[in-house]
Amino acid sequence: MSATIRDIADIETAHAPNPRRGRLPGWGAALTLAAKILLALVFGLPLVFMIVSSFKPDTQIFGDLGGIQAFLPVGNISLNNYVGVFDRVPFAQFLFNSVLISVLTVGLGLIVNSLAAFALSRIRIPGGRIALGVILATLIVPFEVMALPLLWEVNQLPYFDGSQIVQGWLDTYTVQIVPFVASAFSIFLFYQYFDSIPRELDEAARVDGAGWFRIYRSIIMPLAGPAIATVAILTFLPAWNQYLWPLMVTQSEAVRPAMVGIDYFKQLNTSWGQIMAYASIITIPVLALFVAFQRSFVNSIASQGLKG
């Protein structure tokens, strides 16, 4: 009996994970760390330069370009550039417009794209695979090809301005939100994630009398946190950075987003310090969003990679 127990213990010990196993040698770990630091510098230094330059006058920005001072907050540091941003343009209105457009695009996009992916993934629909293929085929068409036809189309649609129905969506929030709610890439991401959820959950819920929408709302979506975070980030970024389309469809400052507002600084008297301050402010929401959803975003990408 004791020999048997000893044999079992030896077998478990032999197959137990060794904490030292899989570790890189000392030089390998050092090279990995050096590579990470190098990548951080490559991607982080432009951001550091932008933020530091936003506190400097134009003459000092150009004077510091030849040395390490360009990345250090030294010299004549002040908030004059930030004050100039609000004095030169209606920045508060531009920022509000960008936040409103991006939040509504993300919110509506999560609902519409997840519902479409749920129907394609969980419900047996004739021709569902073909429909998914057609949706994915639209990814190869660049937006610049569709911009002019889309501009003509939205200019023909009726719009209620609060008092009467007029023709055309131009110079409205609607024209900057609705065309970008449905996304083939977001549908694909949701589809991939939903397809990995066991279908036995659907069957059990159906036995209990739950409908498809109840299954979507109470079972599938609560389990799709990483996919929701990923789609939210990937929807927010293009909505926040949109430039060409708002430039084409907006004429008034009341609905113009922040990205178009940067053109105000490219006039006859260009102020690079104010441009850096403007760019720093509009970069903060993007960084905040990524930091907030970083863990879910990475988990979603990792799970998709393991599944694929």
DSSP 26-74: HHHHHHHHHHHHHHHHHHHHHHHHHHHHTTS-HHHHHHTTTSGGGGS--
Label residues 261-275 b or e (16+ Cβ within 10 Å = b). bbebbeeeeebbbbb
CATH topology of domain 81-307: MetI-like fold (1.10.3720)
The percentage of the chain sitting over the pLDDT mark of 70, rounded to a whole number, equals: 87
What is the average pLDDT score of the chain?
A: 84
Overall average pLDDT of the 34-49 stretch = 87
* pTM reported for the whole predicted model: 0.81
The percentage of the chain sitting over the pLDDT mark of 90, rounded to a whole number, equals: 42
The angle that helices 26-53 and 272-307 make with each other, rounded to 10 degrees, is 140
The per-residue pLDDT for 26 is: 74
Domain parsing of the chain, residue ranges? 27-78, 81-307
As a whole number of angstroms, the distance between CA 274 and CA 55 comes to 9
Cβ atoms of 301 and 293 within 8 Å: the answer is no
Q: Residues with Cβ < 8 Å from 250, sequence gap 6 or more?
A: 170, 171, 176, 256, 257, 260
- pLDDT tens, residue by residue, 261-274: 888 887 757 788 99
Q: How many CB atoms lie under 10 A from the CB of residue 299?
A: 15
